[in-house]
Structure 1
Amino acid sequence: MRAHADALGLDVDVVTRPAARSLAEAAEMLGISPGDIVKSLVVRRSDGDYLFALVPGGRKIDWAKLRAAVGTNRLSLPDAEQAKAATGYERGTITPLGSTTAWPVFADERVQGHRVALGGGAHGLSTFVDGDALLSALDATVADITGEE
């Protein structure tokens, strides 16, 4: 993960934290608001390819908005085994940084404009990075793709 971030020219801070039972608990441990944690969700397209959806804490994918942004009628969440096969990461640790395949990234517009934390590629790791720099480095498509949880 760090090697990929370095290759992209991203300044990241990887921190170790105890296992968290929830996003809110992880945010409290990290001293940030839940909205500053970005969930990296792997999504399967109908053609069998995947993409990453970057979703701020406290929000969930709005499937209609994401389908419109992607330009497809059918998207779904793969099971845990398929997600690991697509990214190399277990659920709860997924990040587009260092994924076994550089799938396209679709990010909610709320990721912009501040420092965020996302999965670090292993349980108990969080990666802090400037949201704008992350989106630029990953050539992310930025749109309103979420709704409130």
Structure 2
Amino acid sequence: MAIGTLEWAKAGERPDLLAEPVARATAGLDGVLVAPIDPELADTAAFCERYGVALSESANCVIVAAKRAGEVRYAACLVLATTRADVNGVVRRHLDARKISFAPQDDAVGLTGMEYGGITPLGLPAGWPVLVDEAVAAHPEVVIGSGVRRSKLAVAGSLLAGLENAEVLRLAS
């Protein structure tokens, strides 16, 4: 596989490039690749420009906090970098929340055990819904975070759509 100019390896061979929860989640999974990057270039636009990855080959994972009746539930939303998740519409209704927002950075980092800017759907806390946009699910290979800012993963959209707690929806607005 050759997405961009990155040097890819099997994720299981490079656990040093993964956050601990991601290393556990990818252990034994075939088809998950990892590549080192400059952590200063982890944000999508800078990453894509530097490493020759098209925005349409890259996906962003955002953590949302859904609130209803004093209860807060967290979920992940995964969309291609060319789109935005309709958090206040589709996501809020799907999670049956009265109010929804992006999770505060400290909550997202503390609850996932991942670095901000590297959060990924692989290795999230048990029970969290993973809402995967249908364009991501249909993608043959997409670049996502690895749980840390110093690397990226390449994963088939079908693998992401098949994760436990994954739900494929039209999330993009």
Q: TM-score, normalised by structure 1?
A: 0.86
Structure with bigger gyration radius:
2
Aligned residues: 146
Q: 1:74 corresponds to which letter in structure 2?
A: K
Alpha-carbon distance in structure 2 between the residues aligned to 1:39 and 1:10: 22
Counterpart selection for 1:132 from 158, 164, 168: 158
Tell me, yes or no, if structure 1 residue 40 matches structure 2 residue 61: yes
The residue number in structure 2 matching 1:2 is 23
Q: 2:89 corresponds to which letter in structure 1?
A: A
Deviation for aligned residue 1:2: 2.7
Q: Which runs of 5+ in 1 are unaligned?
A: none
Kept in 1, the 8 Å contact 2:36–2:152? The answer is yes
The residue number in structure 1 matching 2:49 is 28
Q: 2:36 corresponds to which letter in structure 1?
A: T
The residue number in structure 2 matching 1:61 is 85
Map residues 1-149 of structure 1 onto 2, 5 A cutoff: 1-6=22-27, 9-18=29-38, 19-20=40-41, 22-46=43-67, 47-62=71-86, 63-113=88-138, 114-147=140-173
Q: 2:33 corresponds to which letter in structure 1?
A: D
Kept in 1, the 8 Å contact 2:66–2:92? The answer is no
Relative to structure 1, the CA distance from residue 135 to residue 102 in structure 2 (aligned partners, 3 Å threshold; closer, same or farther) is: same
Compute the RMSD of aligned alpha carbons. 1.9
The residue number in structure 1 matching 2:15 is none
CA deviations 1:66-85 (Å, max 9, x no partner) are: 12332333211122111112
Relative to structure 1, the CA distance from residue 29 to residue 101 in structure 2 (aligned partners, 3 Å threshold; closer, same or farther) is: farther
Deviation for aligned residue 1:10: 4.4
Q: TM-score, normalised by structure 2?
A: 0.75
| Identical amino acids, percent of aligned pairs | 25
Kept in 2, the 8 Å contact 1:41–1:94? The answer is yes
Alpha-carbon distance in structure 2 between the residues aligned to 1:42 and 1:144: 17
Q: Which runs of 5+ in 2 are unaligned?
A: 1-21
**30-39 or 18-27, larger mean C-alpha shift:** 18-27
The residue number in structure 1 matching 2:12 is none
Alpha-carbon distance in structure 2 between the residues aligned to 1:84 and 1:58: 24
Alpha-carbon distance in structure 1 between the residues aligned to 2:73 and 2:93: 17
